[in-house]
Amino acid sequence: MKSEPSACNMPYHRKHILIAVLGRTPQILTETLYGLCVIRKIPLREIWAISTRDGCQEVLDKLLHPGQGKFYQLQQDYPEACGQLRFTPEQVIVAHDGLIPIPDIRTLRHSESFMETIIQILWEKSALADNVLHCSLAGGRKTMSAYLALALQLLGRPQDRLYHVLVDPHELENNPEFYYPRPGTAEVQQVRIDLVDIPIICLRERVQISRLKSPGGYRQILEWVQKDLDQALILPELALDAEKCALKIGRVEIHLQPQQFCLYWYFADRSRARPANVTVENYPAYFDFPQGSYASDDLLAGLLQRFDIVDSSGQMRRKFAQKVLENGWLPMSWVRQAKSRINDRIRLGLPNAYWLPFYLISAEGKRGNCCYGIKLEGRRIVAPAGF
């Protein structure tokens, strides 16, 4: 589980975004903003509220009214902490039942539509590695809060946070006129606003989250996640043996042609070197990109270095340079062919294995702009020393 954060160790160079579920008490949003921006001094830049039709109207009337909106008042009262916040009517997302905005969550269908909306927003906002999501479940019905917590456990990254907000004295929580302690008033001394950091278990890096690019509904997502977690308990370690030019996946040993082994070794090391702040499914951040019709300089250099370890005589390197390289460049046609043959060998060794995709060399991206690598988490890979 995540440790409780403090203001001093939050990643300030990133883009901080507040995502909140809201019902018909929009003052919860300004209380949360006060706790995050004024008290904790977290540099939020965007706010996204997820609500019903009636909740949205409350936000527009009480927070975003052009002349009397309490959100604008908060920015004026605390310009240094809140002046850069961006919150517009377009950032209040209303869950829909088909084409009809949901007035309130009263039926199972309304409830599931709300969950779909939360999943969609979190998926979009968590796609960028430099975004930090601050999620507030203090508003709305208990169903909304439970769904937000569940969705963040599915999609959250190590930097993301989940909060509840508490106001003391308690009576102010039911006071429709209280939005936050205003500077220059007794409220600053008499009112206490606390943010409760709710620990969550991040599942995103334990499942094949890439399948959520085309989700078929949150129930299907939950089935996928549960199946992945069941399988993850027995996800075999991948060990590379340079002497045998073999992959050992659990108890299965798969022998490769030496040049192909070196190619697989290169991709395995890139997965092992993935920075801690890069999520597993952010493939462009650590997979290898070709240079047009040729492999990258890093791939070619890494391949030749591994040739020298596997064959200290240098004969493999010389033959490769004579028969494969074109004026010192490695054609991607060779890489793709070697990838195909390697994957065929792995499929043959792991027939019907559910976790097979983790061990294959994968191509991610659109045709003509693919990157290549291995999706297995780096800590599950044991590679030969030397790099």
- 298-320 as b/e, with b when 16 or more CB fall inside 10 Å? ebbebbbebbeebbeeeebbeeb
Is the per-residue pLDDT at 335 higher than 90? yes
The model's pTM is 0.64
Mean pLDDT across the chain, nearest whole number? Answer: 89
Residue 189, pLDDT above cutoff 50: yes
**In this structure, what token pair is assigned to residue 54?**
């009636």
246 forms beta bridges with 241, 255
User: What is the tens place of the pLDDT at every residue in 258-271?
Assistant: 999 999 999 999 99
- Burial pattern 348-373, b for ≥16 Cβ within 10 A else e, equals ebbeebebeebbbbbeeeeeeebbbb
Mean pLDDT over 280-305 rounds to 94
> Please, what are the domains in the chain?
7-202 (3.40.50.10770), 234-382 (no CATH)
Instruction: Judge whether residue 235 has pLDDT over 80.
Output: no
Amino acid 1: pLDDT: 41
Cis peptide before 89 (omega within 30 of 0): no
Listed in sequence order, the residues at least 6 apart from 73 whose beta carbon sits closer than 8 Å to its beta carbon are 179
Residues 258 and 359: beta-carbon distance below 8 Å = no
CA atoms within 13 A on the CB side of 71: 22
3-state DSSP assignment of residue 88: coil
- The reported pLDDT for the residue numbered 8 is 41
CB 261 within 8 A of CB 310: yes
Decide: helix, strand or coil at residue 90.
helix
Torsion angles phi and psi, residue 230, rounded to 5: -60, -40
